[in-house]
Chain A
Amino acid sequence: MRFRHLKFALGVVGVLAFAGAPAVHADEQFFPLQSYRVGPYAAGGTGFFGGFIDYLNLINIRDGGVNGVKLTWDEGETQYEVERGVEVYERLKNRLGVAAWNPLSVGIAYAMIDRITKDKVPLITVNHGRTDSTDGRVFPYVFPLLLNPYSETSGIVNYIASREGGVDRLKDKKIVVLYHGSPYGKETIPIYKLLADKYHFSVEQIEVPHPGNEQQSQWLSIRRAKPDYVVLRGWGVMNPVALKTAQKVGFPADHIIGNVWSNSEEDVIPAGDAAKGYIAITTQASGAEYPVLQEVIKTVYGAGKGNLDDKKRIGSVYHNLGIVNGILNVEAIRIAQAKFGERTLTGDEVRWGFEHLQLNPARVEALGAKGLFHSINVTWDNHEGDGRVTFQQWDGAKWKVVSDWIAPDRASLRPIIEKSAAAYAREHGITPRTSGDDPVSQ
């Protein structure tokens, strides 16, 4: 009995599934976007995907695409939920000329690793994602570009060291890490321990249960522990509440260092005055003064095609991350086109482009992004690409860069990443590649 209604449902869905797919012309490269513009993380989603789309629009309007290949995209709303992300993946994966997936969600990215590897399309997890996917030998299609969570940890510790006057001055310092009670939050616990042993500082890691709208007890514990620094590894509402509660217990904001998901305007504005002086790590500076941003404003917003409703958000942290993500994707296509021809590329060809995504500071300047981000140097076995980080301080109205471009200590983290990747390879029966020219094994 129950089977009959199924047929109806299937019929309806089937018709709709095929009705919506427009024909793709020969020279187009398609970006399926698993965006989130609704729900608790909408502020980040609108900024990031807005910036990404703005940059793709810039390339289309100003250059007529990448060497004449038009960039197209389609959005599917995920609300940051994994199963919606999977649905959007299944919906859009068969479109012609899929260049790369950019979910900006750890959960969705995880659910896609098997799928995109099978479908041979790159998965870009800029600033987030699975740390061991840095090892391109085991994860040929996954790219945690610019900064993985381990490098971020090292970058933050290096910054604290530089404020104290060198790594040897870290000795006997005390750092509290306040982390979000989720897999994301817990990921760096062993890395902080490792670095604490290496540099002889003491570290105490305190969990804030999701969503983090109540942190009285955690901050009282912090007050009792009297640390020199607090690292905020937060997400969403947890960040402004942390800053507010810090003020409540009298902990100075300029000794709180935010991680890469605690570094946006959305994290500090709700905290008001309590956020003044707060410092956070970033891979891309904020502000709209960079040439590429100016061109986006002139060309894209000038033509009424800007993606952000609120023009004040142009140059905000998430918007600029979206722009940088756009640059990285477009340049990977450009590099791949130089090898395979100026046409619609396959996902595997775009992967090759990402594996040769080497943008030195001169090239970054030529792209109009000098000062926006430093450089990237992706290779077949290093999918993160040695990005640099900088630190920014909130002055109550905007972020101001307060450090040089700092390089995390990747050499000492690489063995941990390789070990974890090797375990993954064993579990999944993957033979790691031994050179960039190896055919990708399944």
Chain B
Amino acid sequence: MFDYQFLIEVLVGGLLSGVMYSLVAIGFVVIYKTSGVLNFAQGAMLLFAALTFVSLVERGVALPLALLATLAIMVALGVAVERTVLRPLVNQPPITLFMATLGLSYVIEGAAQLLWGTQVHGLDIGISDVPLDIVGVFISRFDLFAAAVAGSLVALFALFFRTTRTGLSFRAVADDPFAALAVGLRLPRVWAIVWTVAGIVALVAGLLWGARLGVQFSLSLVVLKALPVLVLGGFDSIAGAIVGGLLIGAIEKLAEVYVGPLVGGGIEAWAGYVVALVFLLVRPSGLFGQKLVERV
């Protein structure tokens, strides 16, 4: 007999994991949307943020203070990246910018480990992860919390982009950089803000993922989970990142549990990519991506 309860459990677990993927993917989207850069350093930023926070806390800095300090450092990092990397590379082909962010990820990873060491750290954000038992279906409290955080983050962004002046200029740049320039928006400022926003997303994602994995070098590898989400949802759509994340999370888990045993398991590493790929063959710019012929 087919075990529907188990199916639901896998599905819910997958959707909640998907939220975690979305969280990383959003960091990519905000940058790509405004500057056309696929920022591979997002993983390194995530590592850097989490490592900075944990190291400060371990050195006896009070939690809110550590959070503020990390935030300040991420803002500084965002501004610095805009000035030293993006601005000089303006108008270069996207592939060059992509490679530059790869170089950037070396710098950030190196700096993070040089500053704070290569030790692994535990990160306890105070949620005991004893599962909730809802009519026999186990649901993780931590994942629910993470989903709530991701949801409020997205809501906050929506508010920011719709109501503030900076947010409006962000949308203007995303829609049409040339028109935005023509009406007098300062692109470098928008970029600096965008990188700052990405830094904040990295901090939030870094803390949540850090609490799941421990804070260590492997944290930077979570970008690999975000990439198929981006392909599926579209590189330039926040909504796409969320829906894509949920879909990839759910499909990945269902595939591993129900298809995996047929081929010996471990298919999660590529199942997300294949799903995204098949989908793209039908709809080449993703779920919510803009239809643009672009060249790299």
Q: CB atoms of A and B under 8 A apart anywhere in the complex?
A: yes
The reply to whether A270 and B14 contact each other, CB–CB distance below 8 Å, is no
Q: Which chain A positions have C-beta within 8 A of B129?
A: 244, 247-248, 274
A206 near B: Cβ within 8 Å?
A: yes
A46 near B: Cβ within 8 Å?
A: yes
Interface string of B252-285 (1 = CB under 8 A from A): 1100110010001111110000000000000000
A240 near B: Cβ within 8 Å?
A: yes
Give chain A interface residues in 210-238, CB to chain B under 8 Å.
Answer: 210-211, 213-214, 216-218, 220-221, 223-224, 236-237
Q: Which chain A positions have C-beta within 8 A of B9?
A: 220
Interface string of A240-266 (1 = CB under 8 A from B): 110010011110000000000000001
Residue in A closest to B10 when the chains form the complex, CB atoms? A220
Q: Which chain A positions have C-beta within 8 A of B142?
A: 248
The reply to whether A43 and B118 contact each other, CB–CB distance below 8 Å, is yes
Interface string of A306-325 (1 = CB under 8 A from B): 00011000000000000000
Q: Which chain A positions have C-beta within 8 A of B130?
A: 247, 250
Size bracket of the A interface: 35 or more
Q: How far is the CB of A241 from the nearest CB of chain B, in Å?
A: 6
Which stretch in B62-70, B120-128, B172-180, B227-235 binds the other chain?
A: B120-128
Residue in A closest to B260 when the chains form the complex, CB atoms? A217
The reply to whether A207 and B264 contact each other, CB–CB distance below 8 Å, is yes
Q: Which chain A positions have C-beta within 8 A of B10?
A: 217, 220
Residue in B closest to A205 when the chains form the complex, CB atoms? B265
Q: Which chain A positions have C-beta within 8 A of B121?
A: 269-270
A39 near B: Cβ within 8 Å?
A: yes
Cβ-defined partner of A206 (8 Å) among B13, B124, B217, B265? B265
A220-B257, A248-B129 as given contacts; A241 in contact with B266, CB under 8 Å: no
A68 near B: Cβ within 8 Å?
A: no
A217–B128 CA distance with the chains assembled, in angstroms: 21
A206–B130 CA distance with the chains assembled, in angstroms: 24
Interface string of B213-234 (1 = CB under 8 A from A): 1111110011001000000000
A42 near B: Cβ within 8 Å?
A: yes
A116–B290 CA distance with the chains assembled, in angstroms: 57
A-B residue pairs in contact (CB < 8 Å), sample of 20: A43-B119, A206-B265, A207-B264, A211-B221, A213-B209, A213-B222, A214-B268, A216-B253, A217-B13, A217-B252, A217-B256, A220-B9, A220-B13, A221-B257, A248-B140, A249-B138, A250-B131, A269-B120, A269-B122, A272-B123
B interface residues (Cβ-Cβ under 8 A, vs A): 3, 6, 9-10, 13-14, 16-17, 113, 117-124, 128-131, 138, 140, 142-143, 209, 212-218, 221-222, 225, 252-253, 256-257, 260, 264-269
Q: Which 7 A-B pairs have the closest CB atoms?
A: A270-B214, A207-B266, A42-B118, A237-B218, A209-B269, A217-B256, A207-B265
Q: A217-B14, A270-B120 are in contact. List 6 more A-B contacts (CB 8 A).
A: A38-B118, A40-B216, A216-B16, A224-B6, A240-B213, A270-B122
A interface residues (Cβ-Cβ under 8 A, vs B): 37-40, 42-43, 46, 181, 206-211, 213-214, 216-218, 220-221, 223-224, 236-237, 240-241, 244, 247-250, 266, 269-274, 309-310
